[in-house]
């Protein structure tokens, strides 16, 4: 059989494969040329070009950039307290949302992974994924009407004498926790699925109570998955400006960038560096904690 094959003329794909055969560097290079070229030259290059403007300034009337090196944007960022407040407010909300989502997501993911029947699991997975397909804008606007003074939340709480949070910080936290919840549930679910049942049985056989099993077996093993989910809840909160605008009067980093992008791009670029630096630091920590295996 094999000898017959060598008598035939080699097809183009065969010849191409021969070219790569044994030459690992070439293989890797060919594979990576597309993706890496796209991401490094296209994406990182674009980012660099944008961020370079952080060292420039702007003519107040025309809004045209004066391409001379200056640090005035960074001075403004550091010296004016309002920007520190805004950055801290954004980061704090991102952390709160992440924590909230982790707490809400874990039981659901655990139930899906370890308790639900095959059928129940399928239904739950579909049930969690479906909200991802409803428009982000529509969901936020729905929350806006829910939270309004004459909205459904106040209407429901009124008989017991309570009232909803209305618009503001609490609303932003609530809505963002809502929006990013599926992004937290799914990685935790995947991570929990990967824990073999045998490990849990072994722990029980050794005499551990369910709580101890949870604390000393399940939690550590699923922690990287939680961190993986947190990458999305944290980054999505950090960069959002539409939700704060629709359910609060508070400015987040994204809002200030947005309002400066038109007339003062250098300053907007300097502002943009803040979430970028924060996010890169977060990603480095997450990678350390093994999250990248679970994303």
Partner 1 sequence: MRLSRRSQWLLRAAVAVGLAFIYIPLVVIVIYAFNSSKILEWPPPGFTTHWFSQAFKDEAAREAFVTSIKAGIAASAIALVLGTLASIAVARHRFFGRETISFLVILPIALPGIVTGVAISNTFTQVLDVPLSLFTVIVGHATFCIVVVYNNAVARLRRLSGSFEEASADLGAHSWQTFRFVTFPGMRSALIAGGLLAFALSFDEIIVTNFTIGAGEQTLPIWIYSNLFRPHELPIVNAVAVLVILISIIPVYLAHRLGAEEGGATGGRGAGGGVETEATAVP
Partner 2 sequence: MRRRDGNPARTAWLVVAGLVVFMLAVAGCGGGSDDTTGGSSDEALQKLGKGEGEVSLISWAGYVEPDWSKPFEQKTGCKVNNKEAGTSDEMVELMKTGQYDGVSASGNASARLVAADLVAPVNTDLVPNYETVFEDLKDQPYNTFDGVNYGIPHGRGANLLMWNGDDVTPPPDSWNVTLDPKVAAKYKGKISQYDDPMSIAEAAVYLKTHEPDLGIENPYELNQEQFDAAVQLLEEQKPLIGEYWSEAAKQISAYAGGDVQVGTTWQYQYFALKEEGVPVKASPASQGFLPKEGATGWSDTWMIAKDAKHPNCMYEWMNWIIEPKVNAEVAEWFGEAPAQELACKETANKNFCAEYHAEEPQFWERVYYWETPLADCGNGEENCMDYNDWVKAWTTIKG
Binding flag, residue 104, partner 1 (CB under 8 A) = yes
Given a contact cutoff of 8 angstroms between Cβ atoms, the answer to whether 235 and 179 are in contact is no
Determine if 80 is a binding residue for partner 2 (CB under 8 A): yes
**Region near partner 1 per CB under 8 A, out of 67-75, 77-85, 161-169, 231-239:** 231-239
152 forms part of the interface with partner 1 (CB under 8 A) = yes
Residue 165 binding partner 2, by CB under 8 A: no
Run of H or E residues at 181: helix 169-193
Residue choice 66, 122, 137, 156 for contact with partner 2 (CB under 8 A): 66
- The correct pick among 150, 159, 160, 207 for binding partner 1 (CB under 8 A) is 150
Total residues in contact with partner 1, by rule CB under 8 A: 107
Residue from 95, 96, 170, 295 touching partner 1 (CB under 8 A): that is: 295
The DSSP line for 216-262 is: IIIHHHHHHHHHHHHHHHHHHHHH--HHHHHH-S---HHHHHHHHHT
Task: Please say which residue, 54 or 192, places its beta carbon nearer to partner 2.
Answer: 54
The secondary structure element, H or E, covering residue 58 is: strand 57-58
Nearer Cβ to partner 2 (18/80): 80
Q: Do the beta carbons of residue 56 and residue 266 sit within 8 Å?
A: yes
- The interface with partner 2 within residues 240-259 (CB under 8 A) comprises 245-246, 249-251, 256, 259
Residue 66 phi, psi dihedral angles, 5° rounding: -100, 110
Residue ranges in 3-62 that form contacts with partner 2 under rule CB under 8 A: 40, 44, 47-49, 51-52, 55-56, 58-62
Q: Does 90 bind partner 2 (CB under 8 A)?
A: no
Judged by CB under 8 A, the chain residues 111 through 140 that form the site for partner 1 are: 111, 114-115, 122, 125-139
């Amino acid at each position: 059989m094999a000898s017959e094959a060598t008598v035939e003329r080699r097809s183009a794909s065969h010849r191409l494969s021969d070219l790569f055969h044994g030459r690992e560097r070439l293989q890797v290079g060919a594979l990576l040329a597309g993706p890496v070229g796209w991401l490094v030259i296209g994406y990182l290059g674009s980012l660099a070009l944008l961020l370079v403007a952080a060292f420039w300034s702007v003519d107040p009337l025309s809004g045209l950039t004066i391409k001379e090196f200056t640090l005035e944007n960074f001075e403004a960022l550091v010296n004016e307290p309002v920007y520190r407040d805004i950055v801290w407010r954004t980061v704090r909300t991102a952390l709160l949302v992440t924590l909230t989502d982790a707490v809400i997501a874990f039981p659901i993911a655990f139930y899906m992974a370890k308790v639900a029947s095959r059928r129940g699991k399928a239904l739950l997975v579909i049930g969690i994924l479906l909200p991802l397909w409803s428009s982000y804008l529509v969901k936020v606007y729905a929350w806006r009407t829910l939270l309004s003074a004459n909205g459904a939340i106040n209407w429901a709480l009124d008989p017991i004498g309570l009232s909803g949070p209305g618009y503001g910080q609490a609303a932003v936290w609530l809505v963002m926790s809502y929006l990013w919840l599926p992004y937290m549930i799914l990685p935790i679910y995947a991570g929990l699925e990967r824990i073999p049942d045998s490990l849990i049985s072994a722990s029980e056989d050794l005499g551990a109570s369910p709580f101890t099993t949870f604390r000393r077996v399940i939690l550590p093993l699923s922690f990287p998955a939680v961190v993986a989910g947190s990458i999305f809840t944290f980054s999505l909160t950090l960069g959002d400006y539409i939700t704060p605008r629709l359910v609060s009067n508070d400015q987040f980093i994204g809002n200030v960038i947005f309002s400066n992008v038109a007339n003062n791009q250098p300053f907007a670029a300097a502002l943009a560096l803040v979430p970028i630096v924060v996010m890169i630091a977060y990603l480095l920590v997450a990678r350390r904690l093994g999250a990248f295996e679970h994303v």
